[in-house]
Amino acid sequence: MGRSQQIGPAGRTPGNGPGFAADADDTDCTVLHVDMDAFFASVEVRRRPELRGKPVVVGGTGPRGVVSSASYEARRYGVRSAMPAARARALCPRAVFLPPDFTEYSAASETMMRIFRDVTPLVEPLSLDEAFLDVSGALRLLGRPAVIARDIRRRVREEQQLTCSVGVAPSKFVAKLGSTRAKPDGLLVIPEKRVIEFLHPLPVAALWGVGERAAESLQRLGLRTVGDLAQAPLGMLRRAVGESSAAHLHELSWGRDPRRVVAEQVEKSIGAEMTFDTDVSDPRLLRRSLLALAEKVGARLRAGGHAGRTVAIKVRSADFRTVNRSKTISTTTDVAREIFEIAWALFLALQPTGQIRLIGVRVEGLLTAATASRQLTLGEPERGWRDAEAAADAVAARFGRSVVGPASLLGSRDLRRTENHPHSTVVPLSDPPSRS
């Protein structure tokens, strides 16, 4: 979606005018977009109550790090996600910087999704901290959409000690704009009859698919608001952003978004990356780094009930040249040792020279555990590495990932809690990537 910071929160009475509030007419507004508030930072404050009220930044712990999440106290100083760590520290020197803990965030996300699925089976997660819900089937039992939204917010607050913002609207696009407008800790209903009134004063960057370059192109033509774009001839839009984007943006500018909430999401790949604080050429450190990344990827695969057939690596050198290599195997795997051995062989085959800035491991071609086939290799015991790693998962779930792992990583806290943690890529839902 467009840059949500340009939409801007509307405080306690969100919207562009009267009628855009939590108690507005929600007839036919059966799509909810629920977005957790400063999710990573909020989870950290939940388990460290002494940080409440202080500026907290997740990420940016290394000189080359970037901000993953910032509490609203830190945002008052101008700190934003994706901002370089050096810039964030300059803006807010007294902020508490914490390394990301994606195991904790994933667990919190799973709990959130269970709350959503208690309301409706039609839940479409977009990321760890946001989801679309279609509540049309829940109206008879649970009441009006706004009532359902208020109950979700109450449960999240009472059961998880976290807050979320909810947009209630007739379509996905408008509901997502609504949740952004309602932040933080708010609820906004956008009545079907007033969608155009809500949309047209917004900047063009609010539209899905309008990035910085497209916004600049549109603004050069004098198209600064969604309303300006809606009234523009299609030929003008085509010259600015191309044929397909012109039609897409024109439809959105009039509030037309026919996409349904899709409950089934199939993960396409799971991977992990790390950016080194200083460029690295030591093969022993690179080998241990790949092992740490393979451990993370294997754990994420098993936790999600997935296995994959393709192992890929990404290597970025000091001059920012990036090389990707992959290998597809005959069976599926979710075993970190197997992932590492393939990744290391791919790395050696590159014969890298010079300094390396970033390294990553990814498993692609995912299947669910129920459909994935696994074939024992010659000489492999029936109960081997996978059983050992599954047992380590159980220990890590109780005591933390730092207490168990390969002997070669013992004491390597920086390698096992990397700046860029595992992330999943999901099959696109015909939306441009979110930039909120």
Domain of residue 220, CATH code: 1.10.150.20
Is 279 within any annotated ligand binding site? no
Examine residue 165 and state whether it is found in any structural domain, yes or no: no
Q: Examine the domain organization and report whether 55 and 91 are in the same domain.
A: yes
278-298 confidence digits (pLDDT tens)? 899 999 999 999 999 999 999
350-395 confidence digits (pLDDT tens)? 988 889 999 999 999 888 765 555 554 445 544 455 666 566 655 5
Number of domains in the chain: 3
Examine residue 176 and state whether it is found in any structural domain, yes or no: no
Q: Examine the domain organization and report whether 289 and 364 are in the same domain.
A: yes
What's the CATH number where 290 sits?
Answer: 3.30.1490.100
> What are the angstrom distances between the C-alpha of 7 and each of 14, 16, 125, 250?
11, 11, 22, 18
Mean of pLDDT values over 180-200: 95
What pLDDT, on the 0 to 100 scale, is given for residue 330?
A: 85
Name residue, tokens 């999943």: 424
Determine the Cα–Cα distance for residues 328 and 415; give it in Å rounded to an integer.
Answer: 26
Examine residue 21 and state whether it is found in any structural domain, yes or no: no
For the chain, give the mean pLDDT.
82
- 3-state SS, residue 116: helix
The pair of structure tokens assigned to 379 is 């000489």
What pLDDT, on the 0 to 100 scale, is given for residue 65?
A: 83
Determine the Cα–Cα distance for residues 296 and 401; give it in Å rounded to an integer.
Answer: 10
Q: Examine the domain organization and report whether 356 and 391 are in the same domain.
A: yes
Q: For residue 82, how many other CB atoms are within 10 A of its CB?
A: 9
In DSSP terms, which residues pair with 167 in a beta bridge?
Answer: 33, 188
Higher pLDDT among residues 44 and 393, named by residue:
44
Is 118 within any annotated ligand binding site? no
> What are the angstrom distances between the C-alpha of 157 and each of 11, 152, 154, 172, 195?
19, 9, 5, 24, 29
**Residue 184: cis peptide before it, omega within 30 degrees of 0:** yes
What pLDDT, on the 0 to 100 scale, is given for residue 58?
A: 94
Domain final residue pick, 102, 124, 148: 102
Determine the Cα–Cα distance for residues 359 and 355; give it in Å rounded to an integer.
Answer: 11
Give the residue among 168, 176, 169, 173 at the shortest CA–CA distance from 257.
Answer: 173
Query: Annotated catalytic sites, by residue?
Result: 130
Model confidence at 436: pLDDT above 50: no
What pLDDT, on the 0 to 100 scale, is given for residue 302?
A: 85
109-149 confidence digits (pLDDT tens)? 989 999 999 999 999 998 889 999 999 999 988 999 999 99
412-423 confidence digits (pLDDT tens)? 545 544 444 333
Residue 54 is part of which domain span?
41-102
Model confidence at 327: pLDDT above 80: yes
Question: Which range, of 80-84, 216-220, 429-433, averages the lowest pLDDT?
Answer: 429-433
What pLDDT, on the 0 to 100 scale, is given for residue 385?
A: 58
The pair of structure tokens assigned to 378 is 């010659």
